[in-house]
A and B are shown apart, each in its own frame.
Chain A
Amino acid sequence: MVGQILYALPFLAQGFALTLWVSLLVVVLSLIAGVTLGVGLVYGPAPLRWAVRIFSDTIRGIPILVLMFFVYYGLPAIGLHLPSFWAAVLALTLFKTAQVIEYLRGAVASIPKGQSEAAMAIGLTFRQRLTYVIFPQAFRRFLPPWINGVTDAVKGSALVSLLGITDLMQAINQVIGRTYEAMPLYILGALIYFAVNYALSLASRRLERRFSFIRE
């Protein structure tokens, strides 16, 4: 049994690498898109605010799995054929983007209006106010839910196996298919996911402590 698992390790490592790659893409892309749209939701003109609000509410109301199948099996109906890998990344990114929008909105809304006004009064432009006054303060509120979201993204990436992509989950299933050693392999898989997410939450706690000087 141990021999069979050791034999499968390089294959599992490939799956794990793909899991990390999908998670990283989703986390980075959703961070960029979510912060941009979140700023639009808080500060944008009314039509943009409505558009972002509708996007966020719609996406958050749909299960990720449905979203993923929709992107992969549904979009070809309108002529958009995405490879399964990119369909999965797009679906997970859309979902995560909607969450990031809400984290950002909440974090920015928690900063008193007087902070913006004081920044305006010394002549900072909109971009400077965000960069030097609002975001540094909002960051501390943004961080904890966002890190939670990152661990969700790592765990949620296991769904891509349902589009036939060989991530860690799919690799484990395939090895079980060959060896019939379900229990040890699922335990191994769980330990790997846990290790990644535990490392992330440790890093998050350290970051939060670094920014704890910002008192209310």
Chain B
Amino acid sequence: MLSLRERLLVRRLKNRDEKAFAELVSTYQNRIYNLVFRMLGDGAEAEDVAQEVFETVFKVIDSFRGDAQLSTWLYRIASNQCKNRIKYLGRRPKAGFADDGENGVPPSAVRGSSAPSPHAVLEGRQLEQAIATALTLLDDEQREVLVLRDLENLSYAEIGAITELPEGTIKSRLHRARMAVKSHLEAAGQVTASGGANHPLGDKE
């Protein structure tokens, strides 16, 4: 099941090879961070949890038996730690743009450059913002499958291996999650394929 490259990496990890560990972090940090960030919606929490994920890998690599892909195993650890953190924090995730310093242009500033047409499809950061908000409104279980499927582009089989959920459950959660995002985007005037958006976001400003 594991590729030769993965098997070698795992062996080196089990031997506590520092270079192997650096390789693991650089290979998977983007995917793990993105998953965690989208699950938690907060940059500082995401950094902390994502680092904790790799720290955990270092601690428990000996228990990795190779019956799943390394990435699946990492996603599983990440997903569980996100859920634990959410439980610990006891609150819904934030919208995800709060601490976005480097390109943190407020949506209203983007919109100012061109007046939205009546059927304006939300573009760029406005759409991003609307989706990020929609993600925070999902319940944790729905958000998990949606992020894995539509943001991380994983297959149903991979999602099943990560979440240990039956396929039927994954499908129904995914469906409800996508429908909820659709409703949110429609309410925000973002999905306009059918001309249904009468109130593009920001019209009131």
Query: Are A and B associated in one complex?
Result: no
B interface, CB within 8 angstroms of A: none
Residues of chain A touching chain B, judged by Cβ–Cβ distance below 8 Å, are none
